[in-house]
Structure 1
């Protein structure tokens, strides 16, 4: 468990570890990889509810906002992606918001927290002086904004996949479509309830959230709406890609069936001619019948080919 503390003290931002917990002033306490004993000590110091502490120790919580006697407990989630856009890592963040302090708890490192910390250190008046709820806004905003590049990469890959399908559909394209579909479903499952949580924080009357800060949470809500619209758009395009793949495979199957039918039709009269003139009868023997047989063997296929061209079948 690693604790980093930022305290606004006498107009300056002090940064350090647990030694700053007793310093007076607005505090932001960031907890990385929490463990139960240390988190319980922190809970006793700030009177955190045991149910909220228990939620921090068990990941895969649903995004939510819960009110307790002296603080709010907020769960927000996001994703980080590796080189493969479908290889997503869930970033689950828990927040305890008090009158003049904010405790952020997360299991995995997140570079957005470092960005906010540098901003707090460089611009104390524009950040920490506005209150702990404004730091919560900054963290929520950076968490949500990190999702846009993932969906942009998803859109680019989907566009390339569509082009590849219409050029030459292959089996691995279908597998990739299903992988992208699962990725999009995961995104929607996480971001859909999160809109309600941020929507609550953008309303007036929530304890420990100033009225002026609700305007900033409204901006985060707008970003979530945009993300949700991108997800719906991506789902529609993904459905079009699936339809395009199935259409290309069906057309390819029809072309193969058509070619095989043409070959079978060409050889069908030949089989009949060979079978008919190959009968062991004296009446069918002789030079005339021999030349007639070869004339029909050559004439029938040529006539069929011209007929198929006339009908535009080949």
Structure 2
């Protein structure tokens, strides 16, 4: 994962400039759901202009735009729905911080959907425009991540979308985005458990690399989830007339979920930090154990080296009172070996008594 993943125009560019920063990777697809109290109609418009007839209806319309949108298509949506130029620029320049902008007759929201496949963590920017009877959602993913919400809308006995305003659809999408953090953190929790077992049994450089990578991903997730909680707080206040009073209780539930995710995330970050300290202590302990064994071996061989050094001098001069008498002993060689063995045993007993081994 790159440290800096925000796309931006060159400094000095005029505000509201719609120029593609990155080459489109996935083609744009548009899905439209128009629903009333008695019906749900699903279409796949070919362009933004095909959505124009639904603006004159009294129904509620959800327009889902998937894929990397090009400036021309985005400009068409902006002209059709009177979207602010700065908001459109934020869609082109992906990697924005989660935020909410309240306009006269619209709400613009940037949220971040965490997607984790077990190896790579991807932070997907989701941009939403909420009007009186419509909601437009821009998502760069090729596959529509909000299909579970769409499935709930198709259920004939589900009256919540039909009986409430467009703000309830906004809640459903925001709730999906926030709750997407739970399965991501569940996978992180499994990785932490595996790393903890590996840390206690056989820590290695691979363990350290995995810990650093996990801490980095948790930090990235934290950088996104904290401002997203502030976003939900703003919606809970009901400062905009598009957010009705009977929907505020659902946003409060969404806020509770965001708090749970943040608390779980902070716990995982603390666990990863403590595991890193345990790894460093374990490596230091292993180094100390190794040095202790080597020191004991060196200490044992110091007197032996002295003994063999003395008897390796071979000073033997006939008639000299300073010659080495042991060189002429019949049992001199086995006696030296016996003395060295006694020295080794004595040192081992001494080390054992001092609890050094």
- Counterpart position of 1:44: 79
Contact kept? 2:60, 2:166, Cα under 8 Å: yes
Bigger mean CA deviation after superposition, 225-234 or 29-38: 29-38
Q: Which one of the candidate residues 98, 101, 107 is aligned to 2:140? A: 107
Q: Is 1:160 the equivalent of 2:228?
A: no
Instruction: Assess if the C-alpha contact under 8 Å between 1:26 and 1:129 holds in 2.
Output: no
How many equivalent pairs are there? 312
Secondary structure of 2:34's aligned partner: strand
Structure 2 counterpart of 1:311: 354
Partner of 1:298: 341
Please name the residue that 2:211 is paired with. Answer: 177
- SS of the aligned residue for 1:220 comes to helix
Out of 44, 53, 69, the residue aligned to residue 22 of structure 1 is 53
Matched with 1:265 is: 299
Runs of 4+ with >4 A deviation: 288-292
CA distance in 1, matches of 2:166, 2:257: 21
State how far apart, in whole Å, the 1-side matches of 2:342 and 2:113 are: 72
1:273, 1:296 within 8 Å by CA — same for their partners in 2? no
TM-score (ref. length: structure 1): 0.94
Are 1:151 and 2:178 matched, yes or no? no
Cα deviation, 1:211-263, whole Å, max 9, x if unaligned, reads: 11121111111111111101110011111111111121111111111111111
Distance (Å, rounded) in 2 between the aligned partners of 1:83 and 1:97 = 33
1:220 pairs, out of 254, 271, 290, with: 254
Whether 1:235 and 2:269 are equivalent positions in the alignment is yes
Q: What secondary structure, in the 3-state scheme, does the structure 1 residue paired with 2:100 have? A: strand
Q: Structure 1 residues 59-68 or 103-112, which shifts more?
A: 103-112
Q: Which segment is superposed worse, 194-203 or 272-281?
A: 272-281
The verdict on how the C-alpha distance between 1:128 and 1:91 changes in structure 2, with shifts beyond 3 A counting, is farther
Rounded to whole Å, the distance in 2 between the matches of 1:10 and 1:21 is 21
Confirm or deny: 8 A CA contact 1:29 1:104 kept in the other structure: yes
CA apart distance, 1:109: 3.6
Partner of 2:70: 35
1:188-229 deviation per Cα after TM superposition (whole angstroms, max 9, x unaligned)? 011111111111001123231111112111111111111110
- Match for residue 286 of structure 1 among 322, 328, 350: 328
Q: CA deviation at 1:291?
A: 5.1
Structure 2 length normalisation: TM-score? 0.83
Deviates more, 1:230-239 or 1:118-127: 118-127
Which structure 2 residue ranges, 5 or more long, are not aligned?
1-27, 317-322
Deviation at 1:290, TM superposition (A): 4.5
Structure with more helix by fraction: 1
SS in 1 for 2:53: coil
